[in-house]
Amino acid sequence: MPEHPHEITEVTLLEVIGEEEALRAGALAIVSRTAGAEIGGYRFDVLVRRAVERGVAGLVLRQPTPSSVTGDSLAQRGRLALLEVSDAADPLQV
C-alpha cells in the first residue's frame, strides 16, 4: 500500500481487461472474477501501468492474484493501492 494513495472518489467495476472505462481518476476499481481470470504474467503489469497512468486510486483483486515485482513497484510509485479480498467474498454485496 502506498504511503499516500490517491483519494477515492467513486467505485467502478472492471469486467473486461483492456476496458478503460472503469479505470478513471480517483476510482476504486473492483476487478471482476472474469477479468481477474485474465490477469497473468505481463497482463498484471499492464493493468497496473494503465491504472497508474489514469490516476486510479486502487484495484480490488481476488486472492490469489498473481503479482509481480514490476507491477508492485509501479503501484507503489504511482500511489495505486492494490487490495486483495478472499475469493469467497463478494465485494459487490452490501
Q: What digits encode the pLDDT tens for the residues 51-87?
A: 999 999 999 998 877 788 999 999 999 999 999 988 7
What total of structural domains would you count in the chain?
A: 1
Residue 30 belongs to a domain = yes
For residue 69, give its domain range.
Answer: 10-85
Element (H, E) at 28: strand 27-31
Average pLDDT for the chain: 88
The DSSP bridge partners found for residue 13 are 30
* Residue 69 domain-assigned (yes or no): yes
Q: pTM for this one? A: 0.88
Checking if the pLDDT of 91 tops 70, the result is no
For residues 13-19, average pLDDT: 89
Q: Compute the distance between CA of residue 85 and CA of residue 79 in angstroms, rounded to an integer.
A: 19
